[in-house]
Chains A and B, each alone.
Chain A
Amino acid sequence: MAVDLPCAKKSLARARHKVLKFAGEHGFAGEAEDVALATQEALKNIIQHACPADNNMHIECRVTDDTIAVDISDEGHGFDVSALGEDHQEPLALHGRGIKLMKGLMDEVSIVSDEEGTAVHMEKKRSAHGP
Chain B
Amino acid sequence: MEIEVEEKEGYHVVTPVGELDVYTVPLFRKVVLKLEGERRHDLVLDLTRLTFIDSSGVGSLIEIYQKVQTVEGELAFVIDNPRILKVLRLVNLDRIFRIFPNLGRALQDVGVTGGYVDEDFFSDLT
Which residues of A line the B interface, CB within 8 A?
Answer: 9, 12-13, 33, 37, 40-41, 44, 91-95, 97-98, 100-101, 104-105, 131
Whole-angstrom distance between the Cβ of B77 and the nearest chain A Cβ: 14
For A9, the chain B residues whose CB sits under 8 A away are 22-23
Question: How long is the Cα–Cα vector from A101 to B56 in the complex, in angstroms?
Answer: 11
Question: How long is the Cα–Cα vector from A9 to B56 in the complex, in angstroms?
Answer: 12
B93 touches A41 (CB 8 A): no
Chain A binding site: helix, strand, loop or mixed by DSSP? helix
Question: How long is the Cα–Cα vector from A80 to B56 in the complex, in angstroms?
Answer: 20
How many B residues are at the interface, by size bracket? 20 to 34
Give 5 closest A-B pairs by Cβ, nearest first.
A104-B90, A91-B92, A97-B55, A98-B55, A97-B91
Which residues of B line the A interface, CB within 8 A?
Answer: 21-23, 52, 54-56, 58-59, 62-63, 65-66, 82-83, 87, 90-93, 95-96
B59 touches A95 (CB 8 A): yes
B22 touches A100 (CB 8 A): no
Question: How long is the Cα–Cα vector from A14 to B35 in the complex, in angstroms?
Answer: 32
Given the contacts A91-B96, A92-B62, A94-B62, A100 and B54 also touching, CB distance less than 8 Å: no
